[in-house]
């Protein structure tokens, strides 16, 4: 969910840049280390970035000054974590702002924070909790992708409410934005969860090596019934 160019007051635009920059810097350092120590991960990082670009480019009209769309950050959150996802998100958002007039440069910090940091962080917490509880792959992927999307639009609603409180009330403004966004964003989040569950199911069958240490997957053991096992490194 992108906040469009020039919609945020200057002080809020600067604030969200300041909050996002440390996470993005950490992400660049992490990617550099991953490429150096595990060059085989370049493909999965590229695939994760492609998902973010493709899905977040599906722009649907929402309230004035914003738009609704899937985020595509679920795969990157599971495979590489929040910091790497923030870097992939800022690259995608910068490209969209310059070439597609989607989002904006002045609102880049706010959009990166909501889509590339806050949403993935909430999803990552849920993902880690489900991994600890040994939840199987499909529900884990579905919930992670769904929360990455929903948390993004909740944070975007909060960002707009902080910038434009209704009659001085942030809560009233947040409720208004939240309710309007929910009309399009909740179905999109569910659809995104289903899409990523299908994609990870495909990966588990064709490239289980990409999921090593990431998810509890089912594998066929010599014609016996499937049993849930944890992919290990």
pLDDT digits (tens, 9 = 90+) for 136-167: 999 999 999 999 999 998 999 999 999 999 88
Find where tokens 């199987």 sit: 136
Could you give phi then psi for residue 226, rounded to 5 degrees? -60, 145
Query: Where do the structural domains in the chain lie, given as residue ranges?
Result: 10-208
Residue 225 DSSP SS3: coil
Confidence grade of residue 61 (pLDDT, cut at 50, 70, 90): low
Supply the pLDDT for residue 104: 84
Q: What percentage of the chain carries pLDDT values higher than 70?
A: 89
CA 110/CA 123 separation, integer angstroms? 18
Q: Confidence band (pLDDT; 50, 70, 90) for 229?
A: very low
pLDDT at 120: 97
> pLDDT at position 100, please?
80
Higher pLDDT, 29 or 67: 29
Residue 206, Cβ density class (10 Å: 0-12 exposed, 13-18 middle, ≥19 buried): exposed
Tell me the C-alpha distance between 30 and 152, whole Å: 23
Percent of the chain with pLDDT over 90: 62
Task: Please give the average per-residue pLDDT across 4-28, as a whole number.
Answer: 92
Average pLDDT of the segment spanning 49-58:
89
Q: Report which of residues 223 and 206 the model is more confident about.
A: 206
126 and 28 Cβ atoms separated by less than 8 Å: no
* Across 192-221, average pLDDT: 82
pLDDT, residue 82, reads 97
CATH of 10-208, one of 1.10.1760.20, 1.10.3720.10, 3.10.20.340, 2.130.10.10: 1.10.1760.20
Sheet strands (E) in the chain: 60-61, 67-68, 216-219, 227-230
Q: How far apart are CA 130 and CA 17, in angstroms?
A: 31
User: What average pLDDT is seen over the chain?
Assistant: 87
Q: What's the CA angle centered on 46, arms 25 and 130, to 5 degrees? A: 80
Q: Identify the CA nearest to 109 among candidates 148, 63, 70, 163.
A: 163
Q: pLDDT: is 61 or 73 the higher one?
A: 73
Distance, C-alpha 15 to centroid of its chain: 21
75-120 pLDDT, tens digit per residue, is 999 999 999 999 999 999 999 888 887 778 999 999 999 999 999 9
Calculate the alpha carbon distances from 132 to 36, 52, 128 in Å.
Answer: 29, 26, 6
pTM of the predicted model as reported, rounded to 2 decimal places: 0.87
User: What pLDDT sits at residue 67?
Assistant: 60
Listed in sequence order, the residues at least 6 apart from 65 whose beta carbon sits closer than 8 Å to its beta carbon are 3, 4, 7, 160
DSSP-assigned letter for residue 231: -
Cα gap 181→184, rounded to integer Å: 6
DSSP string, 65-80: TBEE-----HHHHHHH
Per-residue model confidence (pLDDT) at position 142: 97
């Amino acid at each position: 969910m992108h906040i469009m160019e020039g919609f945020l007051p200057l002080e809020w635009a600067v604030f969200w840049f300041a909050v996002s920059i440390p996470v993005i810097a950490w992400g660049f350092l992490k990617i550099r280390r991953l490429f150096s120590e595990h060059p085989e991960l370049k493909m999965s990082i590229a695939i994760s970035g492609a998902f973010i670009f493709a899905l977040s480019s599906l722009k649907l009209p929402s309230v004035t000054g914003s738009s609704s769309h899937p985020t595509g950050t679920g795969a990157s959150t599971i495979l590489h974590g929040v910091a790497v996802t923030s870097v992939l998100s800022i690259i995608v958002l910068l490209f969209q702002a310059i070439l597609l007039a989607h989002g904006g440069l002045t609102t880049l910090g706010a959009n990166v924070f909501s889509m590339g940091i806050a949403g993935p962080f909430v999803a990552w917490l849920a993902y880690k909790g489900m991994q600890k509880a040994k939840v199987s792959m499909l529900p884990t992927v579905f919930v992670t992708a769904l929360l990455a999307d929903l948390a993004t639009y909740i944070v975007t609603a909060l960002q707009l409410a902080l910038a434009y409180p209704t009659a001085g009330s942030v809560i009233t403004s947040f409720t208004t934005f939240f309710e309007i966004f929910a009309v399009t964003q909740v179905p999109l989040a569910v659809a995104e969860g289903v899409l990523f569950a299908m994609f990870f199911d495909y990966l588990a069958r064709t490239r289980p090596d990409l999921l090593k240490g990431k998810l509890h997957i089912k594998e066929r053991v010599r014609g016996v019934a499937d049993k849930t096992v944890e992919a290990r490194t």
